[in-house]
Chain A
């Protein structure tokens, strides 16, 4: 129960127009029987009076509508289920002869009346929410239907694989086939540089020289006797080292011949009285002769290979590179060939499509002719046959 002051209603005074006072002509006409009827001259006054009545009636209607709306809203706010139901019954039971605005209003009310009606939850709180929900759902719902674009995304991702080959792509392939300029470089075997032991020995010697030179320079600065020592340069050092090496290479005392020469001489000659000039070159010449005869195998490579791991590795890698490049090249050739074939097939397919269109046109013409209930002309028939045959020939080319 709420207080009167809470009530939003206005308690209008719904008195109807007192026609006896306000509409005398109207009253007079009412009093007459049908035989007497209405005079033409009374029309104007009647019109005015009727307008007055109508205006008051429609004003009353508007006010009533406003008040009922207030009443409904008020009741809904309170969430009083019982009376919503009762109210609904009242509305639906109202007499059927309703004008348009009334009907719309009813439908509006019935719309959110049965909403909370069926499937009514037990708690009061849910009711206004449900009503709100129904109001706001409809305008938002329609544009919110999500577009299913999964197939679009799928086709977009597959597209690069199925697209036609363009001439640009063929050109790119051809360019790829050109052998790279730096290939030769990869196969070079750089010459053996100085062995590191030699290099380091050289460097050490140089260092000592410098130190000695500095010491001597400090000692003999005034005398200026640095000359011979400081002028020693790498060339001389090399010569010195080579001499010492050469000496090392000949462990045997006094025997000037190389190993092979010695063995040969031992085999062929009993005593070694003579000395032969150019022993070194003799040794190498004998070696060469023996190799040429096939008696001695060339010892170079295995010896070198077994000792030089870096070289071995380098050679291995170069072989791999060669094999791989050859493989790639063949593949690129194949790809180019296939691409060119596909391009020609694409052109054929394009022609098939155009032929399809022509066939469809001819078909449509014949159908139109048939609709108009006349037989198609010879020209149309010929054209249809021609387009069909064209299409077939192109298809044959394609499949062949």
Chain B
């Protein structure tokens, strides 16, 4: 029953999303006209090589209208993105409910029997679809956006991905990718960890164009997920991402290489966290 209602709700939301997207495009085409005007005015001003008060006023008016349009567009886009997030969370709930109910969705086999390739694809997708933080002018990136650490009293919710330090069978400690089942309870691998040993992964990507301060900088020491694995290792940032969809380029600490570091490897923003370990393992 629950699944059916979830399905219909999802369908509803999808329709709403469709509408929002159409609205967005209307808005955008409307503002297109104004932007073209601005462009023309710019050109004229540049060719005439003087700025008359008339032009200044006109430009001001055009800018103001363009501002209003841009804001409206932003609002609709945000609504659309929120809608997508809503749908996604509903899907996630549905997945968990299905797992508990014992039904297996074909596209999402239970973890225990997941093949490595599938897992990797999942991880990659999760990294890609990490929501991008686009703040309004004057907004600061929140905690757990990019490199901004979590606030001191942050409690990871069930379903959050974290980097966790666990003891392997042979006594070694490793940082692994984990999902919180419940706070202070065991993860899938039946580890009970204190809060210190768990670092929540970022919940938003930082936009390099608007919030570069929320990104890790070059030469910063971080814990990064080694590609095609689920373990975090110490690494140095080689280059931060240029565009919102880009990855960090990092150098992993690797004694098997001459200079102690691997060649630059790409790691998504989602899988790069601040390193708190004082000494080398």
Contact = CB atoms under 8 A, between A and B. Distances in A.
Contacts of A64: 63, 66-67, 70
A45 to B, nearest CB: 9
> What 10 pairs across the A-B complex have the smallest Cβ distances?
A61-B70, A54-B77, A51-B132, A44-B129, A64-B67, A11-B42, A68-B63, A57-B73, A90-B61, A14-B35
Contact of B68 (A4, A75, A98): A98
Number of chain A interface residues as a range: 35 or more
Nearest to B34: A14
30 contacts: A1-B51, A4-B51, A6-B51, A19-B28, A26-B21, A29-B21, A32-B18, A37-B18, A40-B14, A43-B84, A43-B88, A44-B125, A46-B21, A47-B81, A50-B21, A51-B131, A52-B245, A54-B74, A55-B244, A59-B209, A60-B66, A65-B67, A71-B59, A83-B53, A90-B60, A98-B71, A99-B74, A99-B136, A100-B136, A101-B138
A58 B59 contact: no
Q: Interface majority SS on B: helix, strand, loop or mixed?
A: helix
B32 interface: yes
Interface in A219-259: none
A51 B50 contact: no
Nearest to B107: A41
A365 B205 CA distance: 64
Interface of B: 10-11, 14-15, 17-19, 21-22, 24-25, 28, 31-32, 35, 38-39, 42, 45-46, 49-53, 56-57, 59-61, 63-68, 70-75, 77-78, 80-81, 84, 87-88, 91, 125, 128-129, 131-132, 134-138, 207, 209-210, 244-245
B35 to A, nearest CB: 5
B15 A34 contact: yes
A339 interface: no
A30 B25 CA distance: 8
A4 B74 contact: no
A16 interface: yes
Nearest to B72: A97
B71 A86 contact: no
A30 B22 contact: yes
Contact of B77 (A53, A67, A87, A99): A53
Given A37-B14, A43-B84, A59-B209, A16 B31 contact: yes
Contacts of A37: 11, 14-15, 18
B84 A55 contact: no
Given A47-B81, A55-B134, A11 B68 contact: no
Contacts of A288: none
A3 interface: yes
Contacts of A55: 132, 134, 207, 209-210, 244
A38 interface: yes
A292 interface: no
Nearest to A67: B63
Contacts of A101: 136-138
A37 B16 CA distance: 10
A142 interface: no
A48 B124 CA distance: 14
Given A55-B132, A68-B64, A101-B138, A11 B71 contact: no
A54 to B, nearest CB: 4
B59 to A, nearest CB: 7
Given A19-B28, A101-B137, A71 B60 contact: yes
Interface in A76-127: 80, 82-83, 86-87, 90-91, 94-95, 97-102
B128 A44 contact: yes
A11 B67 contact: no
A161 B31 CA distance: 81
A72 interface: yes
B129 A58 contact: no
B65 A62 contact: no
Given A19-B28, A44-B125, A53-B24, A71 B56 contact: yes
Given A48-B245, A57-B73, A101-B136, A43 B60 contact: no
A7 interface: yes
B71 A99 contact: yes
A61 to B, nearest CB: 4
A90 B137 contact: no
A81 to B, nearest CB: 11
A62 B137 contact: yes
